[in-house]
Amino acid sequence: MLQNTYPGKCSGTISLEATLYRRVLPQDCIAFSSTQGRRLFKEAINSESNFMQIYFPLAEQFITQAEPAFCGLATLAMCLNALQIDPGRLWKGTWRWYSEELFDCCTSLSVAREKGISLSEFLCLAKCNGVQTEEYRASKALKMDQFRSLVKRCCSDSSEIMVLNYSRIVLGQTGDGHFSPIGGYHADQDMVLLLDVARFKYPPHWVKLSLIFEAMQQIDESIGLPRGLVILKSDVKNCLSQNELSKSMDPAAAKMVRSQPCCFGVTTIPPFHSSQAYIR
Amino acid sequence: MLQNTYPGKCSGTISLEATLYRRVLPQDCIAFSSTQGRRLFKEAINSESNFMQIYFPLAEQFITQAEPAFCGLATLAMCLNALQIDPGRLWKGTWRWYSEELFDCCTSLSVAREKGISLSEFLCLAKCNGVQTEEYRASKALKMDQFRSLVKRCCSDSSEIMVLNYSRIVLGQTGDGHFSPIGGYHADQDMVLLLDVARFKYPPHWVKLSLIFEAMQQIDESIGLPRGLVILKSDVKNCLSQNELSKSMDPAAAKMVRSQPCCFGVTTIPPFHSSQAYIR
């Protein structure tokens, strides 16, 4: 019997057989650090098409989700840190920084801990934290060529990050709804690199673009709509000007979110319409 | 005034001026995702000498330390996950995984949260968690050529990780004692890639091997000895055999630590002698 050592939880015992150390990655998913994964990475990074630009800021901020249902919150924290957005509020010690605990907004952390968050709640949190968002439901109106063009756009620059909301089932993985940012694109193989924050379960991996596209098209049963994607971009209008920045910050990098009360609800987010691919 | 939103801490207010969003990286340190950093990375990854093998498993498990003084604990968690060591005890949900909270051993977490840990405590924790260690104090007996050979050895394979304990002061950084794993080596430039877990402060960066060597030679005032390095390697003798592994685990990867009571002290660790470079 093993002791649950995590502070803040009721202590208890659980049998070894009831616990897991990772899962075997399905055949269609190629682990980042496998021989094949390293080869794909090297080919992509050396390609003249250069769709690995977004890899660098994301690799700098890759994290493991702090709770089993925090895939959306962890993905957002990772992306906001990669976009060098200053949260304008305290994390720990004297530092301002994003981690999942800072997202007690749009939905409560206790609910997120139990159920995770929806794509709408992800959008709400992103907007509340001062990023521009461009969102697409993977309805029939969104074609694979359009998706590929968006992937290429986001991967060829360090200023925009694409986050996918998809069903793990299509990838042959256990579980269902999940969030991952795209960390790069291999044009010749038409594969994307998923920087999956559930690293206690699966390592980061390469998958065919067509497969992840199909995984996004699956219906989110909780709302009866297909899943989709969000592109995150730092919003200069919502950020403090350079003159307003604290002298303690890197003046070339920091983009502070204007202090604002949290909406504490998702009513400010326009509802998705499945007939539209591009909402805003 | 900003609200401290981190749960578990007493809530309180702190003025914006008293908080920080990162620090400017000194000139001798080249940020991983800067133009120069990307060039160094690409050169190193394409070099025939191939000293970027360790980059892949470490990049998969790069984390941000969960507390301002947890650099040693976070570095160890990252390395044990990169070496695919199964802790044999529960993390969260049904998962076995390493995060700082699992290291309530050798010293208490509350003391580590206040003071951080020493190199001796880092070693104690590493041994308690079933890894082989090879440790060197950066005394005069350790020559730079020997250090460079060790760096090359650890970076040319995915099975050994070198962790440095050094003074940030020599690098022109704020703070003092710190732990970082080496994520790769650029032979032509004689530079190492430090995957610094204090990502709220500095991004990962390249530094000259000679500079980090000097930073390791600084005296740790708390014990009157120079700092140094530890090489971590999974210890097959201390791991369960494949037959003992749970069916739920990836049989090709998992190395479970034998369940053992924590030592709750550093007395089992042989003391360092400054006249010796290589202790065991």
Residue A236 CB-density burial (10 A; 0-12 exposed, 13-18 middle, 19+ buried): exposed
Name the minimum distance, in Å, from the CA of A219 to any CA of chain B: 26
Which among B56, B200, B254 has CB closest to A95? B200
Using a CB–CB cutoff of 8 Å, tell me whether B56 touches chain A.
yes
Three-state DSSP class for residue A132: strand
* Of A49, A82, A42, A228, residue with least CA distance to A153: A49
pLDDT at A235: 73
pLDDT at B16: 81
pLDDT at B247: 38
The sign of the torsion formed by the CA atoms of B150, B153, B154, B156 equals positive
Which among A3, A60, A67 has CB closest to B203? A60
Of residues B245 and A77, which shows the higher confidence score? A77
Of residues B208 and B243, which shows the higher confidence score? B208
What does the alpha-carbon distance between residue A22 and residue B84 come to, in Å, rounded to a whole number? 10
Per DSSP bridges, beta strands B177-186 and B160-167 are: antiparallel
Kindly report which listed range (A118-132, A257-271, B15-29, B121-135) carries the lowest average pLDDT score: A257-271
pLDDT at A15: 79
> What average pLDDT does range B247-275 have in this prediction?
43
Tokens of A56: 């660098």
Q: Inspect the interface and report whether the beta carbons of A95 and B42 lie closer than 8 Å.
A: no
Give the ipTM.
0.86
Tokens 């009721």 belong to which residue?
Answer: A10
Residue of B nearest to A52 (CA): B38
pLDDT at residue B251 is higher than 50: no
pLDDT at residue A194 is higher than 60: yes
pLDDT at B240: 41
What does the alpha-carbon distance between residue A264 and residue A261 come to, in Å, rounded to a whole number? 9
pLDDT, mean over chain A:
85
pTM above 0.95, yes or no: no
Of residues B262 and B278, which shows the higher confidence score? B262
Q: What is the pLDDT of residues B137-182, one digit of tens each?
A: 999 999 999 999 999 999 999 999 999 999 999 999 999 999 999 9
Residue of A nearest to B65 (CA): A63
**What distance lies between CA A11 and its chain's CA centroid?**
31
Integer-rounded Cα Rg, in Å, for chain B is: 19
Q: Which of A20, A35, A53, A240 to mutate to test the interface with B (most CBs of B within 10 A)?
A: A20
Name the minimum distance, in Å, from the CA of B253 to any CA of chain A: 9
pLDDT at A16: 81
Name the minimum distance, in Å, from the CA of A272 to any CA of chain B: 31
pLDDT at B70: 96
**What letter represents residue A26's amino acid?**
P
Domains of chain A: 20-234 (3.90.70.30)
pLDDT at B180: 98
pLDDT at B249: 42
Q: What is the pLDDT of residues B32-64, one digit of tens each?
A: 999 999 999 999 999 999 899 999 999 999 999
pLDDT at residue A152 is higher than 60: yes
pLDDT, mean over chain B:
85
What does the alpha-carbon distance between residue B61 and residue A59 come to, in Å, rounded to a whole number? 10
Instruction: Provide the pLDDT confidence category of residue A223 given band limits of 50, 70 and 90.
Output: confident
Contacting A residues, span 179-218, partner chain B, CB-CB under 8 Å: 199-201, 203-204
Using a CB–CB cutoff of 8 Å, tell me whether A86 touches chain B.
yes
Percent of chain A with pLDDT over 70: 79
CB pairs under 8 A between A and B: 184
